[in-house]
Amino acid sequence: MAELKLYNSLTRKKEVFEPIDTKHVRIYACGPTVYSYAHIGNARMAVVFDVLSRILRIIYPKVTYVSNITDIDDKIIAASQKSGEEISVITKKYADIYNADMASLGVIAPDIQPRATEHIADMIALIQILIAKNHAYEADGHVLFHVPSFAKYGGLSGRSHDEQMAGARVDIASYKRDAADFVLWKPSHKGEPAWGSPWGAGRPGWHIECSAMAAEHLGLPFDIHGGGADLKFPHHENEIAQSCCAHGSADDLSSFAKFWVHNGFVTVDGEKMSKSLGNVVLAHDLVKDHEGETLRLALLSTHYRKPLDWTGNAIANAKKTLDKFYKRLNQMKDMDIVDINSSKILDVLCDDLNTPLAITEMNNLLKQENSPELKSKLIAVGNILGILQHSPEKWLESKVFDGDLDVPYIENLLQQRTAARMNKDFARSDEIRDELISMGVTIEDTADGAIWKRYIVV
RNA sequence: GGCGCGGUGGCAGAGAGGCUAUGCAGCGGAUUGCAACUCCGUGUACACCGGUUCAACUCCGGUCCGUGCCUCCA
């Protein structure tokens, strides 16, 4: 059995992963807030944890992967007030689009995808426990977590209470007993969504949502908690505080989740994505212009913990790499899949998800002669990385992704060119090729006739 | 200001105390009506300064640069 090593943000070390229950591995990753389209950063998180869950499923007999949808949040309320659409309409719309876009990227749906609004009762119950244990208090219609009540607070992000106060740049609400205290429950104003609670009509804070949903669907402690690196503070720190104080041990930061896994940030052309810079790259737009596998490979060609700079070059590179793999698979299309015992690439992936090295190993594999073993190995790795899932013929004929191309017209031109070449009318033949190139289509003359495919303009 | 992360060849991107990373691009060649594809060959690297060591790009310290979080942003 392969040994999986993961970098644990909680201990800041790469550690051997040992499940709490080897028969059932439980993992949670913070999903998106559905008030708009998912961007490439959301996609990276979804793809990274999809790969992790695929690896876990190879090693362990049962894996439960939970990733939530946050469907109540101030940003959603703001979006609703702006557009005039009902909140439930907005959240349904963007949750559906998120799932469709992630599916395009080859992301297998999580086993459970809980919605925050379906777990309000669990959140209220959790808050009540925290109040009963003197970790939370009611003030001015709010319920707040009292940070000084949890001595280990800050253990994940490595900030002490005093350090945070030294760097605080936020105005402190008057009802807070301590500047670091954060909201568990907040009152709703007129027109805002509200649920009844012992503290009046209101809604939950963001952090309590994940604590409640993770506990409800996985139980505590569970094995792995994931999310984007930016969530480490305050979101994950606060989740740990809530969950350890309510259900686990206030002395043990790992009594909520044993491993914390964080994926790195995505920048665009060297800059942080932000609305003010106007450089937010949406997954929804990308999947219109590129095959999902191309985008997925581009996302996996940098190690998940490293910052990833998203450029057109990365997409073009991934596309070329996939074409190369599919070409070889096409040469081996009549070969059978056989059992393979070589697990070198799985070992590489088990070393903290070293996907770039796995891709390198795939390239090295290509130096071998065609054989059922080679084909089987490529397919096996592809199944983990979530690539090479199409039939090679389809991929190479560009049938997988037509984009906005006029396929019948292209194929007509191709036939004309073939006829011209038969008659040795190379001037006409080259003229047609130039036209196709101007449309973003390249031609390859193979032994079986000419094929075409779209190429990427960077 | 506080807490982190990172600086590898034209580009992307792994790695490791001494052993060719790899891919793309480039260059030379084979193939091709010309190309493309494919194949063969080929060059370039480890921010800076000290230290440890027989040996450091790899460990330690410092400097510079970049970047993330500290604002319910994945």
Provide, in whole angstroms, the distance separating residue A243's CA from nucleotide B55's C1': 51
Q: What is the pLDDT of residue A443?
A: 87
Q: What is the pLDDT of residue A279?
A: 83
Q: What is the pLDDT of residue A90?
A: 94
The protein residue nearest nucleotide B73, judged by CA to C1', is A230
Tell me the C-alpha distance between A297 and A292, whole Å.
9
- The torsion angles phi and psi of A28, rounded to 5 degrees, stand at -130, 140
Q: What is the pLDDT of residue A167?
A: 46
Q: How many CB atoms lie within 10 A of CB A167?
A: 8
Closest nucleotide to A232, Cα to C1': B69
**What strand order describes the sheet that includes A266-268?**
A271-272, A266-268, A308-310
Q: What is the pLDDT of residue A394?
A: 87
Q: Domains in chain A, ordered, with CATH?
A: 5-263 (3.40.50.620), 268-396 (1.10.730.10), 407-454 (no CATH)
ipTM: 0.91
pTM of the model: 0.93
Provide, in whole angstroms, the distance separating residue A390's CA from nucleotide B32's C1': 30
Provide, in whole angstroms, the distance separating residue A267's CA from nucleotide B62's C1': 30
Q: What is the pLDDT of residue A50?
A: 96
Provide, in whole angstroms, the distance separating residue A401's CA from nucleotide B36's C1': 21
Q: What is the pLDDT of residue A164?
A: 59
Provide the CA A388 distance to its chain's centre, in angstroms: 19
Closest nucleotide to A45, Cα to C1': B74
Closest nucleotide to A167, Cα to C1': B2
Nucleotides of B strand lying within 7 Å of any protein CB atom: 1-6, 11-15, 21-25, 32-40, 67-74
Q: What is the pLDDT of residue A170?
A: 52
- What dihedral angle (degrees, nearest 10) is formed by the CA atoms of A453, A41, A380, A318? 30
Mean pLDDT, contiguous 10-residue spans, chain A (458 residues): 87 92 97 92 95 96 96 91 92 96 96 96 96 94 92 84 56 80 92 93 94 96 94 92 91 93 88 79 91 94 91 89 93 89 84 94 91 92 95 82 79 92 92 86 83 70
CB A76 within 8 A of CB A91: yes
